[in-house]
């Protein structure tokens, strides 16, 4: 038994999980955050979620990935995109990087979105509406939601 355990202790993970960026488009005047409802093929259902994507380009930094994901996923751009929080997950999950994009505008010529999943709905919500969605289990209560609440708090 000990020999088997020692063999497993020496093994490295077979593949590294990609890091993820999550972007909160935030209207600083109305104090609203933009969320999307996306059909996720792997789950065969719709989820309300935030603009997000995997970090898949080795030559680009995390913030550049956030800016590109905002453009690809919801055709928005912002002059002010900044880092809110990062978590390095060790047990089972991927590192997550959270960004706020202040007062984004819709792009005239957005890049094509390479994702297979597609957006079925989108809306701006204030903190009360967001909290109601959490309470009604329309949004998942997870680290991304906690960071969104922190974004709301930042602009109170």
pLDDT in tens, 103-150: 999 999 999 888 777 899 999 999 999 999 999 999 999 999 999 999
What per-residue confidence (pLDDT) applies to 15?
36
Which is higher by pLDDT, 72 or 14?
A: 72
Which residues are CB-contacts of 10 (< 8 A; sequence separation ≥ 6)? none
The structural domains of the chain, with segments of one domain joined by +, span 18-154
- Partners of residue 37 on adjacent β-strands: 48, 121
Rounded to whole angstroms, the Cα distance separating 120 from 72 reads 15
- In this predicted structure, the answer to whether residue 92 has a pLDDT above a threshold of 90 is no
Rounded to whole angstroms, the Cα distance separating 70 from 88 reads 22
What per-residue confidence (pLDDT) applies to 4?
59
What per-residue confidence (pLDDT) applies to 18?
80
Name the pTM for this structure: 0.85
CB atoms within 10 A of CB 45: 9
Q: For 29-87, how does the pLDDT look when each residue is reduced to its tens digit (9 = 90+)?
A: 999 999 999 998 888 999 999 999 988 877 889 999 999 999 999 999 999 999 999 98
Q: Are 107 and 71 in contact (CB under 8 A)?
A: yes
Q: Domain 18-154 - what CATH class?
A: alpha beta
Burial of 37 per CB tally in 10 Å (0-12, 13-18, 19+) = middle
């Amino acid at each position: 038994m000990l020999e088997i355990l020692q063999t497993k202790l020496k093994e490295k993970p077979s593949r590294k999980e990609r890091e993820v960026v999550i972007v909160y488009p935030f209207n600083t005047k109305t104090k609203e955050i933009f969320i999307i409802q996306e059909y996720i093929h792997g789950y065969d259902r719709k989820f309300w979620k935030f603009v997000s994507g995997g970090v898949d380009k080795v030559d680009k930094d995390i913030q550049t990935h956030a800016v590109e994901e905002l453009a690809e996923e919801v055709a928005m751009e912002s002059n002010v995109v900044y880092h809110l929080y990062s978590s390095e997950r060790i047990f089972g999950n991927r590192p997550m990087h959270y960004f706020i994009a202040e007062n984004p505008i819709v792009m005239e010529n957005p890049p094509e979105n390479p994702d297979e999943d597609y957006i079925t709905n989108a809306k701006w919500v204030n903190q009360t509406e967001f909290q109601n969605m959490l309470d009604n289990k329309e949004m998942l209560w997870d680290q991304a939601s906690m960071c969104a609440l922190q974004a709301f708090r930042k602009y109170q």
